[in-house]
Amino acid sequence: MSLFRPVIDAMQGYIPGEQPTEAGWVKLNTNENPYSPSPEVKKAIVAASDGRLNIYPDPLVKAFRESAAELFGVDADWVLPANGSDENLTILMRSFVDAGEQIAYPYPSYVLYETLAEIQGAKVARLPLTPDWHFDWKTTDPRVAASKLAFVPNPNSPSGNRWGDEELQWLTPEKGLLVLDEAYGDFADKPHKAELLQSEIGKRMVITRTLSKSYSLAGIRFGFAIAHPDIIAGMRKVKDSYNCDSIAIAAATAAIQDQTWMLTNREKIVTTRTCLTEALSEMGFVVTPTQANFVWCTHPDHAEGKIYEELKSRKILVRYMKFPYCGPEENEHREGLRISIGTEGEIDMLLKSLKELVE
């Protein structure tokens, strides 16, 4: 007999992207930044590890909150740091959704939302996306209206498209919150959306951000939420007392204070993204226009799963994704490749292999 809660026994668990431990891979599968973090990060980590590791870190993470608040033009009590953006998603689920209540999210997008809901014993409404990754409704969908939280990646993953302000209105539950997951927000054309928070729907919105992608700190685990202070104060009651460790706080604070470093790497990634999109299109791939640090593509004549396997055998890792139940028919699914933007050299290696495979 299992001692686990029935919902835990019933669930499959989230499967993260592969993380090979040996060297020599071209790793384009989990949207990490191919460039190193700011040199200030290393200095800050050394200083923090020379410092007082025997005492607990600042539970309110004041230094980071002040820097992030300044960047987004809000007060520090609008910011909640966490051990990666995923932790803030967990805190949101635990803060607002009771067992039996509902969350909604665009489908296909970030499947972790569904996993977190399963753990909580909550219901999930998938909001199906059209083949061009939009909604086929023009008002708040009843599935959104009936939800406590709507989780919406902006830009979306795996497609890379960004939602318009009107779509965001439709995605805001009448008696709940819109969680705008901006993990890839810095790669979009108009990066900061904090002004939305000051608008009418802003009172019912939480923005989540991460340092894993644009700040090259996936190995450190640091993210933050921005929302009205009443929302942040409630979420703070749910978080672990010391959810961010001293080393991570030092690293993240140094990283966010070096905007020049982040923006320079962002420019390089956006340039490589354009080159990759053009080259893939020339090879016959159908590429979704993207505002993130990855592209989503399919090929009319070649099975994407096979391309993924062939690339893997050459030590090039991309993400092959297959989403079931994507249409009215039960067996309708959507599959394709999500390719993270690497360095110019890495993308050249990828393109050389792809040429051999599809041309």
Ligand X SMILES: Cc1ncc(COP(=O)(O)O)c(C=O)c1O
Q: Closer CB to ligand X, residue 209 or residue 334?
A: 209
Provide the minimum distance between the beta carbon of 1 and ligand X in the complex, in angstroms, as a whole number.
35
Query: Residues 29, 31, 216, 291: which binds ligand X (CB under 6 A)?
Result: 31
Cα dihedral 335, 336, 341, 347 in deg (nearest 10): 150
Which window, 60-68, 80-88, 256-264, 301-309, contacts ligand X (CB under 6 A)? 80-88
Of 225, 248, 256, nearest in space to 80 by CA = 225
Question: Minimum distance between the CB of residue 340 and ligand X, rounded to whole angstroms?
Answer: 10
Buried residues in 115-154 as b, exposed as e (16+ CB within 10 A): bbbbbbebbbbbbbbeeebebeeeeebebbbbbbbbbbbb
Q: At what angle do helices 344-358 and 304-313 cross, to 10 degrees?
A: 120
Does position 84 interact with ligand X (CB under 6 A)? The reply is yes
Out of 102, 115, 161, 212, name the contact with ligand X by CB under 6 A.
212
Residues forming a β-bridge with 79:
226
Examine residue 210 and tell whether it contacts ligand X (CB under 6 A): yes
- CB-wise, 33 or 353, nearer to ligand X? 33
Binding footprint of ligand X, residue count (CB under 6 A): 13
Q: Which is nearer to ligand X, 180 or 354 (CB)?
A: 180
DSSP state of 16: P
Name residues whose C-beta falls within 8 Å of residue 47's C-beta, 6 or more positions apart in sequence.
250
Tokens, residue 74 = 């809000």
Q: Supply 348's token pair.
A: 């050249």
Amino acid symbol at 261: W
Interface pattern 98-137 for ligand X (x via CB under 6 A): ------------x---------------------------
* Least distance in angstroms from the C-beta of 300 to ligand X: 27
Is there binding between residue 223 and ligand X (CB under 6 A)?
A: yes
Least distance from ligand X to the Cβ atom of residue 355, Å:
28
- Quote the least distance from Cβ 165 to ligand X, whole Å: 20
For 329: left if phi > 0, alpha if psi spans -120 to 50, otherwise beta; the answer is beta
Residue 25, exposed/middle/buried by CB under 10 A (0-12, 13-18, 19+)? middle
Q: What's the angle, vertex CA 259, arms to CA 256 and CA 263, rounded to 5? A: 125
Contact assessment for residue 169 and residue 201, using Cβ atoms and an 8 Å cutoff: yes
For ligand X, the binding residue among 57, 108, 153, 185 (CB under 6 A) is: 153
Using CB under 6 A as the binding rule, whether residue 340 contacts ligand X is answered as: no
Question: 116 or 183: whose CB is closer to ligand X?
Answer: 183
Determine the interface stretch with ligand X among 34-42, 81-89, 226-234, 252-260 (rule: CB under 6 A).
81-89
For residue 240 the two structure tokens come to 């672990």
The smaller minimum CB distance to ligand X, of residues 223 and 342, is found at 223
Structure tokens of 229?
Answer: 């202070």
181 binds ligand X (CB under 6 A): yes
Residues at the site binding ligand X, with contacts judged by CB under 6 A: 31, 84-86, 110, 153, 157, 181, 183, 210, 212, 218, 223
